[in-house]
């Protein structure tokens, strides 16, 4: 799985439903490939291909990404859908917090052991 394809939803990692737009927020924040891979349950190579695509087509990707963000910010969902989105966001935030905690523990362990 090392190709970026477009099945009509925008460029995505082949064999997944993860688009390069899903990667953009974390790429912009400077996350490492392995961190992004862990979040989306991808291989670091998959993430590297997505980032390469973003960098090679940055103007178009960022233009489309901004349009997606604006569309989501301005869309009004039904109460039922909004509740589902809120639960999904909470699960996602919990996963991010767990990853952050694991990374902090790893860094603390490395510091306690002289980086080994």
Is the pLDDT at 6 greater than 60, yes or no?
A: yes
Using a cut of 0.75, tell me whether the model's pTM lies above it.
Answer: no
Is the pLDDT at 35 greater than 80, yes or no?
A: yes
Give the pLDDT confidence of 43-95 residue by residue, as tens digits: 999 999 999 999 999 999 999 999 999 988 888 888 998 899 889 889 888 88
Give the right CATH number for 1-75 from 3.30.70.100, 2.60.40.10, 1.10.10.10, 1.10.287.3510.
1.10.10.10
Check residue 57 and give its pLDDT.
Answer: 96
Check residue 1 and give its pLDDT.
Answer: 43
For residues 27 and 31, what is the distance between their CA atoms, to the nearest angstrom?
Answer: 6
């Amino acid at each position: 799985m090392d190709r970026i394809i477009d099945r009509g939803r925008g460029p995505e990692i082949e064999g997944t439903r993860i688009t390069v737009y899903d990667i953009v927020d974390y790429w912009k924040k400077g996350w490492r490939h392995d961190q992004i891979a862990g979040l989306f349950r991808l291989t670091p190579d998959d993430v590297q291909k997505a980032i390469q695509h973003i960098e090679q087509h940055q103007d178009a990707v960022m233009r489309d990404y901004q349009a997606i963000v604006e569309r989501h910010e301005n869309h009004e969902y039904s109460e039922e859908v909004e509740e589902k989105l809120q639960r999904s966001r909470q699960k996602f935030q919990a996963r991010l917090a767990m990853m952050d905690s694991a990374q902090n523990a790893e860094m603390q362990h490395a510091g306690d052991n002289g980086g080994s």
